[in-house]
């Protein structure tokens, strides 16, 4: 029996089993195929960028490991991303860039790049049939003074980063024009304090004024929309984070922008999935989400199919928020093959979504409304042993990507033929 026959037979049995509880597996796969993920380019080169490659990381960001094959040039990073995309089902994905990934003939300051310096990535995205998202690079820069950017009391430092925020918006708009689709421009800054500050008001008032200056120029939302990413704490800002969750949530809601939820930016005991239904009734433009995996802190581990990810996926599906939340990956691990990291993380997010889509959501909601919590518990627990894997294999086969663990051999071959020679 061929692998395809095995996949089809297993799927037929799984489809019948799910049909008995009112779930249409074909419909679930069709819905999953419409879900876009934004792959983060910085996994491929350990957050180095191409502007000032010798500039050390700052802003609480650290990458562990020295696995061979790190992308060193735009062409190498683009090739690695293309390889990863071939192994991830779905055809509506995006790639998230940082300002420091501009393609220039020689190293320059991040504020000296122009929108046209991203033509390499725009042309590549058009050829690959993917979209792009963008991030200003408010880190790894000598103009970070005392770990501060937009909140700095130094007017010259603050002016520099305001100019960068304006530039990031201009670049995102240019990308959106050329791509013919919306580019999300995400803003995150590492500003805060290691110990208890006397004034918590001053930095946030400076941040508010700076953001309003950055946002003064309107751009068509068909091309771009801005998102603002908060954080509980980070390395070097353990006691006070100027751009907190509440600050950016309020800013996004009052300015008609997106609020970014990063799964790693919360207290370890918080349930990130609970945030969606608390915010989306007020967020007319939706939410942006960075899917990460914290281990005790914002450690940016590769996303895996764990309980936290399942909670996120179930919340998005059960409350019908899939169309209102933009999903992007955000992690970096240099202890393993970097392409494998992309594929594991993306597939885990898709597997979580598929399991959520294979749930009889309306029947469970009806039972809940009727106070039948027994049916709710029995069904949700019983589904954990349902043949989800057979549906996932069928989805991968239909999407033209390797099934099961077979994709790893493709990564290993690419490693020998390409990565090992770097």
Residue 419 placed within a domain: no
Annotation says 188 is catalytic: yes
Which of 45, 117, 191, 298 is catalytic? The answer is 298
Which of 173, 300, 333, 359 is catalytic? The answer is 300
Residue 180 placed within a domain: yes
Whole-structure pTM value: 0.96
> Which residue matches tokens 């979580």?
352
Residue 85 placed within a domain: yes
260-315 residue pLDDT tens = 999 999 998 999 999 999 999 999 999 999 999 999 888 899 999 999 999 999 99
Annotation says 262 is catalytic: yes
Which of 117, 330, 359, 393 is catalytic? The answer is 330
Using the Cα atoms of residue 342, residue 345, residue 351 and residue 353 in order, give the sign of their dihedral.
negative
pLDDT at 58: 62
Total structural domains within the chain: 1
End-to-end CA distance of the chain: 41
Residue 91 placed within a domain: yes
Annotation says 285 is catalytic: no
- Distance separating alpha carbons of residues 337 and 55, to the nearest angstrom: 24
**If DSSP codes are grouped into helix, strand and coil, which group holds residue 164?**
helix
Annotation says 76 is catalytic: no
Residue 391 placed within a domain: no
Residue 130 placed within a domain: yes
With contact defined as beta carbons under 8 Å apart, do 239 and 196 qualify?
A: yes
Which of 164, 257, 275, 290 is catalytic? The answer is 290
Residue 420 placed within a domain: no
Which of 46, 215, 262, 393 is catalytic? The answer is 262
Annotation says 229 is catalytic: yes
Residue 50 domain boundaries: 35-373
Share of the chain above pLDDT 90, in %: 90
pLDDT at 3: 86
Which of 93, 265, 275, 326 is catalytic? The answer is 265
With contact defined as beta carbons under 8 Å apart, do 69 and 422 qualify?
A: yes
Which of 93, 164, 223, 231 is catalytic? The answer is 231
User: Mind giving me the DSSP string for 90-149?
Assistant: -S--EEEEEGGG---SS---GGG--GGGGHHHHHHHHHHT-EEEEE---SSSTT-BTTBS
34-85 residue pLDDT tens = 999 999 999 999 999 999 766 666 666 777 789 999 999 999 999 999 999 9
Share of the chain above pLDDT 70, in %: 98
**If DSSP codes are grouped into helix, strand and coil, which group holds residue 192?**
strand
CATH code, domain with 170: 3.20.20.150
Annotation says 265 is catalytic: yes
Angle at alpha carbon of residue 155, lines to 150 and 159, rounded to 5°:
55
Tokens of 277: 């239904």
Residue 392 placed within a domain: no
């Amino acid at each position: 029996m061929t692998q395809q026959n095995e996949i089809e037979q297993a799927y037929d049995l799984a489809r019948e089993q799910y049909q008995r509880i009112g779930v249409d597996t074909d419909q679930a796969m069709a819905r999953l195929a419409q879900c876009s993920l934004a792959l983060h380019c910085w996994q491929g080169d350990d957050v180095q960028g191409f502007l000032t490659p010798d500039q050390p990381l700052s802003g609480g960001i650290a990458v562990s490991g020295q696995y061979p094959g790190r992308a060193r040039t735009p062409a190498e990073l683009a090739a690695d991303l293309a390889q990863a995309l071939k192994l991830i089902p779905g055809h509506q994905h995006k790639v998230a860039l940082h300002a420091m990934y501009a393609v220039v003939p020689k190293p320059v300051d991040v504020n000296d790049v122009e929108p046209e310096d991203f033509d390499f990535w725009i042309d590549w995205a058009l050829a690959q049939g993917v979209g792009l998202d963008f991030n200003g690079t408010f880190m790894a820069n000598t103009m970070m003074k005392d770990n501060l950017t937009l909140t700095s009391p130094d007017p010259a430092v603050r002016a520099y980063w305001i100019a960068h925020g304006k530039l990031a918006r201009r670049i995102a708009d240019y990308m959106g024009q050329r791509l013919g689709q919306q580019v999300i421009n995400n803003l995150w800054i590492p500003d805060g304090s290691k110990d208890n500050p006397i004034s918590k008001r001053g930095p946030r008032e400076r941040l508010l004024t700076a953001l309003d200056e950055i946002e003064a120029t309107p751009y068509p939302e068909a091309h771009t929309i801005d998102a603002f990413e908060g954080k509980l704490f980070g390395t070097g800002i353990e006691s006070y984070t100027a751009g907190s969750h509440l600050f950016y949530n309020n800013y996004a809601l009052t300015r008609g922008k997106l609020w970014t939820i990063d799964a790693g930016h919360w207290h370890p005991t918080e349930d990130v999935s609970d945030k969606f239904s608390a915010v989306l009734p007020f967020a007319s433009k939706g939410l942006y989400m960075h899917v990460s995996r914290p281990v005790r802190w914002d450690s940016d581990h590769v996303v895996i199919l764990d309980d936290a990810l399942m909670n996120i996926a179930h919340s998005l599906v059960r409350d019908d928020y899939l169309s209102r939340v933009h999903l992007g990956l955000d992690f970096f691990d240099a202890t393993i093959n970097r392409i494998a990291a992309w594929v594991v993380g993306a597939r885990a997010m898709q597997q979580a979504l598929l399991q959520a889509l294979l749930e009889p959501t309306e029947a469970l909601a009806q039972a809940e409304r009727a106070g039948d919590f027994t049916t709710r518990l029995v069904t949700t627990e019983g589904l954990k042993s349902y043949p989800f894997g057979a549906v996932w294999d069928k989805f991968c086969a239909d999407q033209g990507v390797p099934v099961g663990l077979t994709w790893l051999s493709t990564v290993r071959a690419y490693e020998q033929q390409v990565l090992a020679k770097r």
